[in-house]
Amino acid sequence: MPMIDATEALRVLLISEDEAIRDGVHEALSQARGEVSLYWVSQPDLATIRAKDLLPHVTLIDDALGDVNAPFLVKQVLAFAPGTVIIMLLDERAMAQASAAVLAGARGFVTKPLAPGELVANIREALGQRRFDGDVAQSCLDQIDGQSRGRVVVFCAPKGGTGRTILAINTSIALHQNTGSSLAMVDADLAAPALDVALNLHDNRDITDLLPRLSQLDQELADSILVPYTSGMRVLLAPPPGTLETSITSPQIQQMLAEFKRMYGWTVVDLGLPLNEMSFAYLDAADRIIMTVLPEMTGLRNTRLMLEELGRRGYKEGKIWLVLNRATIQGGISRRDIEQRLHVKITHTVPDDQPLVSHSINRGVPIMLAKPKSAVGRSINALAKQIAMSLAPTIPIRPAPAVATKPTRQRWLRFERTAKA
């Protein structure tokens, strides 16, 4: 399926047997100022399955589908994806079908051959007329107009043990403190989830409670599933290792993050290994990718391989920030040598203080709450400000508030989850 843009965007499903129509829609949507992703289904009998899986914001249905009755297909698609806005692509000599399609549930039509400006204008008009979900409609309008809302920051690493999760947690807290914007953290490490332990969260709610209800996702539903944390952010936990019964699809991640961008000023993702299609759905949606590395040789080799993989997938260098963790560790490779070996600039360095980090993990109290004035705390705070200024320069950076947090001595490990009602 062709993608208009690699990042999370307005999802458009095209149902057409004609490759020329696909190319015409691709050209039209590429002229939209916002981020738009195009998905193409050439077999009408697969349209409802794809609509159910993708849950598109907009569905374009070609009237030339052989023996398939277009108005009937409109009803079928709406049954499987009731939130989609349907626009018919009609031959100028087949205008009689327009009224039948509208009666079936279509929001409008565009005549063929397609005029790029007319198609985008009709999509925008149809979204503006959407009556049943004003917030989602406005979010879609923002996308097609090139506007943006919340920002997505993904923390990843070329290998385990780089401190990725600790940096993601503490940077999230610092982002929230410095900008005052709402923030959601997502544990996307399905093989070795750690946010629940690192934050001492004992809760059975996780992403598996959210995915089946994506079509109804709103602030109330999100608040009922994302676990509140004392710093003011909310956390979407991963299920315990080995308990995920069905794989998580890229469209599900795309839709979830699109809604999170509408609801939260920041979404911070702690992304684990290995990199798969689900992982790339998170990376595609990221406004900034923070790759954490250590100053040691095996990590640098893996870093080079990971950077090459991201480069092959079309990620721009400016989107990826390399953060050198434990930069002052004794015997570590220098920043200058690392930059020469990798041929890439290190954006930020975090000093080494393993006793402080271990103490923070064991107590379940992040450094930014317990020791914000430490060297590590000041460095992470500077990283958060750097991210905020690069992605949201209009948001003023405010002094971090004093947070009184009692360290808890009770620790636990969430190996089993109780049965859900």
Rounded to 5°, angle at Cα 72 from 67 and 78:
135
Identity at 319, one-letter amino acid code:
K
Out of 113, 144, 175, a domain closes at 144
- State whether 110 and 173 are in the same domain: no
- State whether 133 and 180 are in the same domain: no
- State whether 343 and 291 are in the same domain: yes
- State whether 382 and 233 are in the same domain: yes
- What is the number of H-type helices and E-type strands within the chain? 17, 13
The reply to whether 419 falls in a domain is: no
The reply to whether 5 falls in a domain is: no
- State whether 104 and 125 are in the same domain: yes
- State whether 76 and 218 are in the same domain: no
Task: Give the H/E segment covering residue 338.
Answer: helix 335-342
Out of 117, 144, 171, a domain closes at 144
Q: Tokens 């409670």 sit at which residue?
A: 209
Its sign, for the CA torsion 317, 320, 321, 327, is negative
pLDDT at 398 (0 to 100): 66
Task: Identify the three-state secondary structure at position 373.
Answer: coil
The reply to whether 407 falls in a domain is: no
Domain that holds residue 26: 10-144
Distance from C-alpha of 398 to C-alpha of 197, rounded to nearest angstrom: 29
CATH code: domain of residue 53: 3.40.50.2300
Helix segments in 88-217, DSSP class H: 96-104, 116-128, 134-144, 164-179, 195-198, 207-210
Provide CB contacts within 8 A for 319, sequence distance 6+: 286, 287, 288, 289
Identity at 209, one-letter amino acid code:
D
- State whether 112 and 86 are in the same domain: yes
The reply to whether 403 falls in a domain is: no
Distance from C-alpha of 128 to C-alpha of 56, rounded to nearest angstrom: 16
Beginning with the edge strand found earlier in the chain, give each strand of the sheet holding 266-271 in spatial order: 227-228, 234-236, 183-188, 266-271, 151-156, 288-293, 320-324, 346-349
Distance from C-alpha of 260 to C-alpha of 221, rounded to nearest angstrom: 12
Its sign, for the CA torsion 377, 382, 385, 391, is negative
pLDDT tens for each residue of the chain, 421 residues long: 333 333 446 889 999 999 899 988 888 888 776 678 889 988 888 888 888 878 888 999 998 888 888 888 999 899 888 888 999 888 877 666 777 788 888 888 888 888 877 888 888 877 765 543 444 444 554 555 544 478 999 999 999 999 999 999 999 999 999 999 999 999 999 999 999 999 999 899 999 999 888 878 889 999 999 999 987 899 999 999 888 888 888 888 988 998 898 899 999 999 999 899 899 999 988 999 999 999 999 889 999 999 999 998 888 878 999 999 999 999 999 999 999 989 999 999 999 999 999 999 998 899 999 999 999 999 999 999 999 999 887 677 765 555 444 444 445 555 444 445 4
The reply to whether 359 falls in a domain is: yes
- State whether 188 and 114 are in the same domain: no
55 with 11: CB under 8 angstroms? yes
pLDDT at 187 (0 to 100): 97
Out of 144, 174, 208, a domain closes at 144
The reply to whether 163 falls in a domain is: yes
CATH code: domain of residue 377: 3.40.50.300
pLDDT at 294 (0 to 100): 95
The reply to whether 408 falls in a domain is: no
- State whether 62 and 126 are in the same domain: yes
Strand partners, 155: 270, 290
Query: Of the candidates 130, 131, 391, 139, which has an alpha carbon nearest to the alpha carbon of residue 263?
Result: 139
Helix segments in 68-161, DSSP class H: 70-80, 96-104, 116-128, 134-144
- State whether 158 and 247 are in the same domain: yes
pLDDT at 128 (0 to 100): 66
Provide CB contacts within 8 A for 45, sequence distance 6+: none
Residue 144 burial (CB count, 10 A)? 24
Task: Identify the three-state secondary structure at position 14.
Answer: strand
Distance from C-alpha of 343 to C-alpha of 151, rounded to nearest angstrom: 28
The reply to whether 405 falls in a domain is: no
Phi-psi region for residue 331, left (φ > 0), alpha (ψ -120 to 50) or beta?
left
- State whether 88 and 192 are in the same domain: no
Provide CB contacts within 8 A for 278, sequence distance 6+: 188, 190, 247, 248, 249, 250, 253
Distance from C-alpha of 29 to C-alpha of 35, rounded to nearest angstrom: 9
pLDDT at 127 (0 to 100): 76
Distance from C-alpha of 353 to C-alpha of 7, rounded to nearest angstrom: 36
Task: Give the chain's domain count.
Answer: 2
- State whether 89 and 176 are in the same domain: no
Distance from C-alpha of 322 to C-alpha of 12, rounded to nearest angstrom: 33
248 with 272: CB under 8 angstroms? no
| Structure letter (DSSP) for residue 156 | E
